[in-house]
Amino acid sequence: PFISPFISDQIDFYASFGNRIVTNTNLSYLNARLLSQIDENCDWLEISIDGADKKTYEAIRKNLKFENLLENLSKLQAKSPNLRKHIASVIMRQNVRQMPEMVKFAKKYHANIITFMTLNSNLIIDNQRDEMSNYPKVLAYYSNLALEMGDKLGIDVVVPNSQKIDRNISYEDIK
């Protein structure tokens, strides 16, 4: 929503009623006014990030720049160090192996929690083969690694179907 030319006016409007704001963003656009408004009016942000490195992030988030994301995350942390940040990551064939690295990324950039969701395919863009339902053992294996990394780093991690994950799956099971 930050790309909207009316977003600052909308934030001011809702804040004028004493509302605290929670919103989602890919953090691709962030100017000084928005930074101040976030600091003054937001309780938390949900930030969509689908890759822990430039190659993966930019392959999934077409027309966005990884360096811009990192710069905006740093600006956000400097301006609003106590803002609750929730990273939301859509897991698919292209990035499932990065789940543990995404947890490290979330911790490095001061997120309070990272939630992994699975891709819902779209027949129009023909991405059915990218859905993790095609690779349940791979998803289970990397979900376990992400949960372990979260425990190690002290960051909350939410993975799909966490109650049903085979906790004994090994790398040999997914080859």
Beta bridge partners of 46: 24, 86
At 65-80, the pLDDT tens digits run 999 999 999 999 999 9
Q: If you search the block for the tokens 């953090």, which residue do you land on?
A: 27
Residue 168 CB neighbours (<10 A) = 8
Burial 111-147 (b: 16+ CB within 10 A, else e): bebbbbebbebeeeeeeeebbbeebbebbbbbbbbbb
Condensed to tens digits (0 to 9), the pLDDT of residues 36-69 reads 999 999 999 999 999 999 999 999 999 999 999 9
Q: What is the pTM of this model?
A: 0.91
pLDDT of residue 1 exceeding 80, the answer is no
Q: What was the pLDDT predicted at 164?
A: 83
